[in-house]
Amino acid sequence: MSEKINFLAGTQQSFRDEFKERLKYKKLVNFEGLIDTWYTRFGYGVLTDKYEPAVLINDPSIIKQFPDFANEISALNFVTDSFVKFRKEYLEKINNSTLGFPPFLDGLIPKSGYLDFEEIYGSYLSYSIIKYSSFLESNKEIKDFSSFLCVLTENLLEQLQFFPVTKSGYVLSRHNDIKSTGLVIELAKLDYNLDFNKGELVQSPDFQCYLELAASNGFFVDKNAPWRMMADLDSTAMKSQIRSPNASLSKEQMADRPSTRRTLDSIYRVKTHYDDLFQLQDFVVKTYNEIKKGVPFLSKIEYNRSTNKRTKKRTFRPEAAFLSTEEWLSLLISVRFIELGMLQHKDFKATKEEILSISRIYGIRQALGKLGEVCSLFIKEIYVP
């Protein structure tokens, strides 16, 4: 790109022009060291090596704030350490050359970082409960918990791929924020949908140095938000930071160390599929209770033969009933298949019966593990080109 190009996606009035502008940025901005989480690596940071959705453990000690220059912002401890090293090297270059900061990144001060996954997922789930309950509360087919489950399942068939309710489904959805991985640092607060500022940044004379120094310190730069740095889990630099940031190791010693991904999966993260049953139960029962609270009874017309009259009668909705563990598990299996768009899979019925059988013989945790394994194979099909 020898001449400056204006990227105008996000400002166009017609879908055609918007598509053309978005495609222009996608095709022309291709520097080594960029990661494209929109089109090619959209599961980055939220999947284990075995394609299982995972989230950070609930342990404040693994999160670290940026000293001196951004005390209110944080990331995973080894990501923070890597960024501090990167920033120090960049400032040294500025002091000893004509190099400056790329547009919008003055001072390389983090503007946002780690977000607590449980908080953002909890808020989303609360919103989903209100959304579903307000939509269903006046449905006269819902007379009790059993009829509610039938109506809810019909709605979930239509909505789950777009509005998942399990933790595993949410992790991979557009509603999740990648900053909940702890792997992300953003150096500006700009609109992700406007390409003009992105173009200004990537075409600046200082961008290449920013990109190269980021890579040498174990970071990608996000192609679709170039003010965002993301830990490169396969880089040697990040591998050295995750366990021994101050140690000087030989190439042989580095080769013997576990990969950043393996360390992340074994120490920093937990798989979500073991929590999905509880989260589904919580969602279903709370949604029904919201319906019952909003419209506790229904009015229906009944005919009395002895008086030959029709009278209006109120039917109160009873409390939520308890399902058996197997009934809940059966519902969960269907929900996860719907969230992944796999309900019509030819092996659905056989797989469902296999998981239920495992639950009867070995217990619920083993069954949840099997469900997670099955779903990871589907996820691999979806996410691997």
CB 340 within 8 A of CB 378: yes
Instruction: Report CA-CA distances (Å) from 127 to 81, 123, 357.
Output: 36, 6, 34
d(CA 52, CA 179): 18
CB 22 within 8 A of CB 346: no
The confidence score (pLDDT) of residue 315 equals 59
CB 280 within 8 A of CB 165: yes
Per-residue pLDDT of the chain (385 residues; tens, 9 = 90+): 457 888 887 888 888 888 888 888 888 888 899 999 888 887 889 999 899 999 999 899 999 999 888 999 999 999 999 999 999 999 999 999 888 999 999 999 999 999 999 999 999 999 999 999 988 888 888 888 899 999 999 999 988 989 999 999 999 999 999 999 999 999 999 999 998 999 999 999 999 999 999 999 999 999 999 999 999 998 989 988 886 544 444 444 444 445 777 888 888 999 999 999 999 999 999 999 998 887 766 655 565 666 666 655 555 567 777 789 999 999 999 999 999 998 888 899 999 999 999 999 999 999 999 999 999 999 998 877 6
Candidates 188, 190, 191, 260; CA nearest to 219 is 260
The confidence score (pLDDT) of residue 180 equals 96
The CA-based dihedral angle spanning residues 280, 286, 292, 294, taken in that order and rounded to the nearest 10 degrees? -120
Domain parsing of the chain, residue ranges = 15-115+177-271, 118-175+273-383
Residue 75 CB partners (closer than 8 Å, separation 6+) = 63, 64, 66, 83, 110, 113, 114, 182, 183, 184, 185
The confidence score (pLDDT) of residue 98 equals 87
d(CA 153, CA 343): 13
pTM (2 decimals)? 0.86
The confidence score (pLDDT) of residue 385 equals 61
The confidence score (pLDDT) of residue 142 equals 86
The confidence score (pLDDT) of residue 317 equals 65
CA torsion sign for 354, 358, 364, 368 is negative
The confidence score (pLDDT) of residue 382 equals 81
CB 360 within 8 A of CB 326: yes
Strand-strand pairing, 219-222 and 184-186 = unpaired
d(CA 346, CA 363): 26
